[in-house]
Amino acid sequence: MVYEVISLILGIIKIYLYKLLNWNKISFKSIPKMNSTFKIAIKNKSRLVIGKCFRSRSNVNFRIYNEGIVTIGKNCFFNDNCSINCQKEITIGDNLICGQNVMFFDHDHDYKNNIDNYIREKILIGNNVWIGANCTILKGVCIGDNVVIGTGTVIRENIPSNTLVYQEKKIITKKIKEGK
């Protein structure tokens, strides 16, 4: 418990240092409650806007490049090891809950033409969305309001409001024959 309080205090100091060094790139409506292990890499004309009552646990990462814009609504929570990777735009509504290891990518490499180039498309996430652990949200996706995404799901297409989404997983078990 004491470690968590110390880490939170250090996280508040750290976010203000990031704000001081990137005064025109980072803004927040109230002090984000972030564990001291978070990281922000923000380059050029990129921006990070964090709404009121933002909370996170350990090792949350923001990588915002190439004039990317990340906007996070109010009352959002990111669990351990979540990562936002933005080169265009990621907009998150209010009351988002992210389980552990959730990743957002609004871009990927243009492997067909030039691996050094990127294909970029916006991500839009509505209000009251719960994303389970180990999910990946890919470029060009719009997720509606009141959506629950089950653990381990890769989202690569739009999800309408008021929807439960999950990937079915099948475990295959086969007996190994002895002597072969």
Q: Is residue 152 part of a domain?
A: yes
**Tens of pLDDT, residues 128-170:** 999 999 999 999 999 999 999 999 999 999 999 999 999 988 8
Q: Is residue 171 part of a domain?
A: no
Q: Is residue 178 part of a domain?
A: no
Please check whether residue 126 is in contact with residue 147, taking contact to mean a CB–CB distance below 8 angstroms.
yes
Torsion angle defined by CA atoms of residues 101, 85, 10 and 28, in that order, rounded to the nearest 10 degrees: -120
d(CA 180, CA 170): 26
Q: Is residue 101 part of a domain?
A: yes
Q: Is residue 85 part of a domain?
A: yes
| Domain that includes residue 13, residue range | 2-165
Within 10 A of 136 (CB to CB), how many other CB atoms are there?
Answer: 16
Give pTM, 2 decimals: 0.91
What is the set of active-site residues?
109
User: Is the pLDDT score of 74 beyond 90?
Assistant: yes
User: Is the pLDDT score of 180 beyond 60?
Assistant: no
The pLDDT-based confidence of 4 (bands split at 50, 70, 90) is: confident
* CATH number of the structural domain spanning residue 125: 2.160.10.10
Q: What's the average model confidence in pLDDT over 109-135?
A: 92
User: Is the pLDDT score of 13 beyond 80?
Assistant: yes
Q: Is residue 179 part of a domain?
A: no
Q: Is residue 172 part of a domain?
A: no
Count the domains in the chain.
1
Q: Is residue 176 part of a domain?
A: no
